[in-house]
Amino acid sequence: MELSLDQLDPVLDTLRRARRILAITGAGISADSGLPTYRGVGGLYNDAATEDGLAIEDALSGSMFDVRPDLTWKHIFDIEKACRDASPNPGHSVLAAWESRFDHVCVFTQNVDGFHRAAGSSHVIDIHGDTRDLFCPRCDWRDVVDDYAHLDPLPRCPKCNAVIRPRVVLFGEMLDPAKVADLDHHLDQGFDIVFAIGTSALFPYIVQPVFDAVRAGIPTVEINPQTTDLSHLVTHKIRAGAADALTLLSDGLAG
């Protein structure tokens, strides 16, 4: 059934009264940009095992990077290549445009594609990092690149020749404490509505803000064509793709 504006009236009523918005996004919001909704780093990878016979969680782990960085880089290149020719879609653009309508719009994303910032969002907590942000674990070298087209299969630091890596959270690694603290700061300021957009709700730290909002009586909205562990908890469930639902919400606010 095609989504209609009438179906979104309860969400629109809440949005019209809201001043502060938290949008928690997963791989589903980038699916409309042509990215597959993989599992893995930032929600990118699908098959249970790689062509090397390893689970993707093992291939893309911090411990594997320590002993076989070439193997980990092989799959990081696959992730970056999937993002390279894609660009932000209307869903990303709506969240960025809402910054001019609401007092504060915070985007808390598990995606590593950088599309929220590229679309213009200024308050982005990319809890899993960004593939374009490269650094050297040995020295202080770092760089931000547009893509990996110029990189060697096993990229090395131009200063100390150590193997470099993107600033992303690999399996088995801790989240960036500064980003966790940033999220906590935003949560302490409070939100009038919390969205969960295109996330399969697999990571506890991704869905915890939704649980907290539900307990506090703050309106919550899930945008996802699939049923997740959040679907029975949220105030409103929009069973649609992110770009379609957000565009329709934006149109409703403008009308």
List, by residue number, the catalytic residues. Answer: 128
Tokens of 237: 């469930």
The DSSP call for residue 70 is H
Distances (CA, A) of 66 to 43, 58, 95, 177: 22, 12, 37, 21
- The answer to whether 156 touches 186, Cβ cutoff 8 Å, is no
Q: In angstroms, rounded to a whole number, what is the distance separating the alpha carbons of residues 220 and 43?
A: 22
Q: Which amino acid is located at 110 in the chain?
A: Q
In 3D space, the residue among 229, 231, 93 whose CA is nearest the CA of residue 107 turns out to be 93
The crossing angle, in degrees rounded to 10, of helices 9-17 and 242-254 is 60
In 3D space, the residue among 27, 25, 42 whose CA is nearest the CA of residue 194 turns out to be 25
